[in-house]
Amino acid sequence: MPDRAIARSFLPLKYDVLLILLALAGEPRHGYAIIRDVDERTDGDVVLQSGALYRTLKRLLGDALIEETAAPAGEASEDERRRYYTLTRLGRAVVAAEIERLARLVKDARIAVPNRKPRLA
């Protein structure tokens, strides 16, 4: 597993970056599938534009948080140019570190304001 300090050096993640990484946490996905996952995960509150998505994917590839992979078994693709992405070990460590950071933030907010649920949106 990558060094925790290295994973934490990527924090805090931008919200859209976290959503993209979460979309890739379960299975390899191509760009449009990432856009759909983020839309569903946020009930339509976050709409990724394809240009911004592919710029972010390029940066995540450069940071070694994701990598290109083969299409999942049984996935029929009409477009041979379609690229699939998955998290690397470092990417998984970064997601875990960000979730841990956010959990601490929520815990601290609940302590700071007892008997009230914090509103983060």
pLDDT digits (tens, 9 = 90+) for 6-16: 999 999 999 99
- pLDDT cut 70: percent of the chain above it: 89
pTM: 0.86
Reading the block at residue 9, the tokens are 């050096």
Per-residue pLDDT tens over the stretch 51-89: 999 999 999 999 999 999 998 877 766 667 889 999 999
CB contact at 8 A, 48 and 31: no
Give the domains, in start order, of the chain with CATH numbers: 4-112 (1.10.10.10)
What does the mean pLDDT of the chain come to?
90
DSSP 116: S
Name every residue whose Cβ is closer than 8 Å to that of residue 17 and which is 6 or more positions away in sequence.
56, 60
Per DSSP, helices labelled H in 1-121 are 4-8, 15-26, 31-41, 50-62, 89-112
CB contact at 8 A, 41 and 19: yes
